Structures are given as structure tokens and as C-alpha cells.
Amino acid sequence: MSDSIINLSYNIPANDFTFAGEASSNVKKMLSQLGINPMVIKRAAIAMYEAEINAVIHGGGGIADIQISPEKIFICIKDEGPGIPDVEVAMQEGYSTAPEYIREMGFGAGMGLPNIKRYADELQIDTEVGKGTTVKITININ
Amino acid sequence: MKIRDIARILDAEIVVDAGNLDLDVNCACGSDLMSDVMAYVKENVVLLTGLVNPQVVRTAEMMDIKVVVFVRGKNLNQTITDLAKDKGITILTTKHPMFIACGKLYSAGLTGRGVWD
Ligand SMILES: Nc1ncnc2c1ncn2[C@@H]1O[C@H](COP(=O)(O)OP(=O)(O)OP(=O)(O)O)[C@@H](O)[C@H]1O
Ligand SMILES: [Mg+2]
């Protein structure tokens, strides 16, 4: 992989439950091609997928930007949705504002953000009510 | 326990055969909420679910889960089966409900459990 940095960018459409996860799937494929440790790939894939689904469900769609360097995988998921009023509360296991129809789709356990925290080496959430949310995830490769 | 044993024990139909029926599975996770599944850390897992949508296959893909059992005789649409073929995930369907399906696998020796930390 030498010193090169790979940049990837994806559009995340809102409310498309067939397409949702495609960006994470592509990134996972790329990480496998690069020969990165499968445990590291799994952590990156799950963390990104949770953030991608949140952008689809809660954020009205968004953009994913990924940087892969020899040291780390950096994932940035940005939306211009309603924002999160209280991040500390949103981070609690089981806390969810997902409506019933989302739960019927298999989401809304309130486990997404806790899962991201569990699998990421670093997590930063920048959010403003009425403006949107940016979730930044770092996974160290070694 | 091999994937083909799971199919036999659950009287399941093999809807997608990803060519891994001899793969060994040593624990199971039964859930209808995908983020609950993603909190579950373990290798060689079979996922049992009553939820029918493509995100089940996505979740399995992210978690390196190679076999999914849809319980209670659900009919799957082609979006799901095509995605599973593309991702190399075997899909089984059983008429048994979740509780019975899990019970049958457990009694047959699939007792390994993962960690929810
Ligand atoms: N991008 C976002 N924009 C607005 N609100 C969000 C966003 N991401 C998360 N939230 C808020 O934080 C809550 C908790 O998020 P989390 O991902 O932990 O659970 P969930 O998405 O509701 O359910 P799960 O992830 O288990 O399917 C959400 O219910 C929502 O209120
Ligand atoms: Mg979520």
C-alpha cells in the first residue's frame, strides 16, 4: 500500500432501503482488496454501515467520504437532516426516536451509535439542530 | 455443526446455495433488530430472523455471516436472494417459528454463544 492515500466518496440516498448499505459494502470490498486484517475490516464495515443507515433513516440522506491510509481508515458521514438535540442521550444503548415503521424494517434498537463507539478507535459527532449531523469514525489499521 | 446440518434440523429449504454447505458454524444469533445483531461479536455465526428485507443480507455481509435462516415460512423476494447470491451468503427458509427453530438447533448441540458486551 506504500504511502498512498485512497479517497472514496458516495452519495447516500434518503429512504431507500434496498440501496442503503451499498456505500459500506463498496468500502468493505476495497478494504479486502487491500489485504487489510479481516477483524479491522469488520469493525470498519459495521461502524460505517450503522452511520450510513442513520443518515438514511434519521438524516434524510447524505454523503460518505472515506480516506484509507496505511495507518488508518477515516470515515466521514455527513447529512443535512434535523440534527441530534442531545448527543449524550442519543449515545445510550436502547435510546431511539425511530418510528414504528422503521422498527418494522429491523432498525430502531437504539444500538447504532453505541455500536459505532464500540467498534471505532475514535468517534466524533458534530451536530446542530436544524442543520445536520457529521459522524467521523477512525479505525486504526495496526 | 455444518450449514447442511442446520438445513436438515430445521427442515429448511435452501433458497440460495452459496457453495458453503460444509462450512462449520458454532454459534447462533436470533433477532429481528439488525443493530442488536451487530452488537454480537463472534465468528462462524448463523443468523436467524423473522425480518424480511435486504438489510438482513447487508447486516450479514458486514458481519461476515455466511448463512441466514428466515423463520416462520416467509416468502423472500428476488431483491433479497439476488443480493445474497452476490455476497456469497447461503439463505435458508424454515416453517418453524423463531423459538422452535432456535430450540431445535440448541438441542442439536449448537450451544455456542457470542458476547454482548
Ligand atoms: N444522522 C442523524 N440525524 C439525526 N438524528 C440521529 C442521527 N443519528 C442518530 N440520531 C438520533 O439518535 C438516536 C439513536 O441512534 P442509534 O443509531 O443509536 O439508534 P437508532 O438508529 O434509533 O436504532 P438502531 O441504530 O439500533 O437501528 C436515533 O434514534 C436518532 O434520534
Ligand atoms: Mg441507528
pLDDT digits (tens, 9 = 90+) for B3-35: 999 999 999 999 999 999 999 999 999 999 999
Question: Min CA distance, B104 vs chain A (Å)?
Answer: 24
| Residue B113 belongs to a domain | no
* Residue whose C-alpha cell reads 469514525 in the numeric block: A137
DSSP string, A102-116: HHHTT--SS-HHHHH
Cα B109 from Cα A77, distance rounded (Å): 42
Ligand 1 center–CA B85 separation, angstroms: 30
Are A43 and A27 within 8 A, CB to CB?
Answer: no
- CA-to-CA dists, residue B41 to A116, B81, B87, B116, angstroms: 13, 25, 20, 7
Tell me how many domains chain B contains.
1
Chain B residues close to A24, C-beta within 8 Å? 58, 62
Could you give the angle at which helices A22-33 and B54-62 cross, rounded to 10 degrees?
A: 30
Average pLDDT for B50-77: 94
**Average pLDDT, whole number, for chain B?**
93
Strand (E) or helix (H) holding A28: helix A22-33
pLDDT interval class at B117 (50, 70, 90): very low
Enclosing domain of residue A39: 6-140
**ipTM attached to this prediction:** 0.92
CATH of the domain at B56: 3.40.1390.20
Question: Min CA distance, A118 vs chain B (Å)?
Answer: 8
pLDDT digits (tens, 9 = 90+) for B33-59: 999 999 987 889 999 999 999 999 999
Whether A106 and B62 lie within 8 Å, measured CB to CB: no
Backbone phi, then psi, for A111, in 5-degree steps?
A: -115, -5
Average pLDDT along chain A, 142 residues, taken 10 residues at a time: 84 91 97 96 97 96 97 98 98 96 92 97 98 98 90
Closest residue in chain A to residue B33, using alpha carbons only: A106
How many whole angstroms from its chain centre is CA A37? 19
Chain A residues close to B63, C-beta within 8 Å? 42, 45-46
CATH of the domain at A63: 3.30.565.10
| Residue A1 belongs to a domain | no
